[in-house]
């Protein structure tokens, strides 16, 4: 979602497809067991436990167990994609938290099925492999290039829909001419989501009594300033760069002047004391805003100790200790922390997807059915106690409180969508960059 102070054109103009192909990364493994031990007393703060039970309707033990299973099936999927490209059809968690691996007819089907069963997962027979579905997606994108503007402008996106073993197409209006291989049942008509108004600048103060170094954790508010422009966002995960320097990983659109980054005039990042600007804690070293949405903030020397922690919290609450990095998996539980709306949870419903955000195309995002509002941008998303993503955009950014869109979602089924930048992609694009962990 846009940070406060960002113009309306930055807002999301499309909602998420229910599910897309699973994005995997990290070490490969031939098999993984799907039944991890459940901790007797989860080490989670009270505020996060409340969000899990309220939003996911599961226990904190189930939350941790499902998060663990999701990463195990993601690792398995990496191997399956390589070993059985003709039959592997994707992987996800179902509504009960069970890991499902889809298999299509083809060579080595029996071998693939045995590998799934040996890993402790459930095999599901489907008609098309993931390779076939990706081919259909590419064919659709090629078809779209030759269409008149009256058609191309009405197409919001296309994605592999793993759960339905098809491609799904988002459109502005019904009855558009589409290729014959597109299933009419997977053509999703969505009206434009609400568009937020202008934001507010952060009040500036020359001196604030008592302001100075203190623990700065993911999920806390900060202000970014470039000249007269100031944005209010949430800190992302603390980490270190390839040279061992202390950094924070937050959203790209939280940088009010990307063209000046890096350099002597790169926008500064400031501690917030209440609603006023506190001391400068760092400056943007790198910001990417286009197909991806992330920033790396270099922390000033006197604040190194403040950011040398592996925790996520909400203001005034106990923290979550980050223990590693995860990849998004459809069906996995996920919770976000933001300075505006605190902890809230949902499930990943799309990965490796394309979404139109204003004039740019966010192509490597994942989404979850979570409400987030301006000010939550840049904040962390976790699955279990693993770093998963950075809040990027919201389908309900102009509502004053989350209770309104959440209630509308219960009535209509059109739940809020939070679009996020995978942390695993940021790390892979920046060798030596690390998220600080326990």
φ, ψ of residue 131 in degrees (nearest 5): -60, -45
Low-confidence ranges of the chain (pLDDT < 70): 1-42, 190-213
Give the pLDDT confidence of 155-197 residue by residue, as tens digits: 877 778 889 999 888 787 889 999 999 999 989 876 544 222 3
What the chain holds in terms of domains, given with CATH numbers, is 1-438 (2.40.10.120)
Q: How far is CA 149 from CA 75, 145, 152, 176, 256, in A?
A: 41, 10, 5, 12, 32
- Which residues lie closer than 8 Å to 130 by C-beta, 6 or more apart? 21, 81, 85, 88, 89, 90, 102, 160, 162
pLDDT confidence of residue 296: 98
Q: How far is CA 98 from CA 18, 104, 327, 423, in A?
A: 18, 19, 17, 24
Spatial contact of 316 and 337, defined as CB atoms under 8 Å apart: no
Burial of 8 by CB count in 10 Å (0-12 exposed, 13-18 middle, 19+ buried)?
middle
pLDDT confidence of residue 39: 44
Rounded to an integer, what distance in angstroms lies between the CA atom of residue 17 and that of residue 189? 11
Considering the chain, what percentage of its residues have pLDDT values greater than 70?
Answer: 85
Give the pLDDT confidence of 278-308 residue by residue, as tens digits: 999 999 999 999 899 999 999 999 999 999 9
Q: Roughly what angle, to the nearest 10 degrees, separates helices 60-83 and 109-118? A: 150
Rounded to an integer, what distance in angstroms lies between the CA atom of residue 438 and that of residue 428? 20
pLDDT confidence of residue 350: 83
pLDDT confidence of residue 63: 98
pLDDT confidence of residue 211: 55
DSSP letter (8 states) at residue 18 = S
Rounded to an integer, what distance in angstroms lies between the CA atom of residue 250 and that of residue 392? 9
DSSP annotation string for 361-427: EEEEEEEES----TT-TT-EEEETTEEEEEEEEETTTT-SSTHHHHHHHHHHS----EEEEEHHHHH
pLDDT confidence of residue 24: 24
Rounded to an integer, what distance in angstroms lies between the CA atom of residue 19 and that of residue 349? 5
Question: Dihedral sign, CA of 197, 156, 411, 20?
Answer: negative
């Amino acid at each position: 979602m846009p940070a406060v102070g960002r113009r309306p054109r930055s807002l999301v103009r499309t909602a998420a497809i229910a599910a897309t192909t699973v994005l995997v990364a990290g070490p490969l493994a031939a098999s993984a067991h799907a039944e991890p031990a459940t901790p007797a007393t989860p080490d989670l703060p009270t505020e996060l436990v409340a969000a899990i039970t309220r939003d996911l309707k599961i226990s904190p033990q189930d939350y941790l167990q499902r998060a663990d299973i999701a990463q195990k099936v993601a690792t398995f999927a990496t191997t399956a994609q390589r070993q059985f490209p003709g039959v592997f059809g994707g992987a996800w968690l179902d509504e009960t938290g069970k890991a499902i691996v889809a298999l299509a007819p083809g060579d080595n089907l029996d071998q693939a099925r045995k590998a799934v069963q040996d890993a402790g997962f459930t095999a599901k027979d489907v008609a098309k492999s993931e390779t076939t579905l990706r081919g259909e997606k590419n064919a659709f994108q090629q078809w779209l290039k030759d269409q008149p503007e009256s058609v191309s402008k009405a197409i919001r996106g296309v994605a592999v829909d793993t759960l339905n073993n098809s491609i799904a197409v988002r459109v502005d209006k019904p009855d558009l001419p589409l290729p014959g291989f597109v299933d009419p049942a997977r053509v999703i008509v969505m009206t434009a989501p609400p568009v937020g108004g202008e934001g507010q600048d952060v009040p500036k103060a020359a001196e604030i009594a008592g302001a100075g170094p203190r623990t700065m954790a993911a999920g806390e508010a900060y202000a970014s300033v470039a000249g007269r422009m100031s944005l209010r966002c949430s800190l992302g995960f603390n980490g270190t760069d390839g040279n061992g320097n202390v950094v924070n990983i937050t959203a790209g659109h939280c940088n009010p002047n990307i063209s000046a980054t890096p350099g002597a005039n790169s926008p500064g990042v400031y501690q917030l004391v209440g609603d006023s600007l506190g001391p400068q804690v760092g400056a943007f070293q790198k910001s990417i805003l286009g197909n991806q949405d992330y920033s790396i903030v270099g922390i000033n020397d006197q604040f190194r100790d403040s950011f040398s922690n592996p925790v996520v919290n909400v203001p005034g609450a106990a923290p979550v200790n980050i223990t590693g990095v995860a990849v998004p998996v459809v069906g996995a539980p996920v919770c976000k922390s933001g300075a505006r709306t605190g902890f809230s949870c949902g499930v990943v419903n799309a990965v490796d997807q394309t979404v139109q955000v204003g004039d740019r195309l966010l192509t490597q995002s994942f989404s979850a059915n979570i409400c987030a509002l301006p000010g939550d941008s840049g904040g962390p998303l976790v699955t279990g106690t693993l770093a998963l993503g950075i809040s990027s955009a919201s389908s309900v950014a102009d509502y004053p409180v989350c209770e309104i869109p959440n209630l509308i979602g219960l009535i209509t089924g059109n739940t809020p969508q939070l679009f996020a930048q995978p942390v695993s992609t940021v790390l892979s694009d920046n060798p030596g960059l690390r998220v600080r962990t326990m």
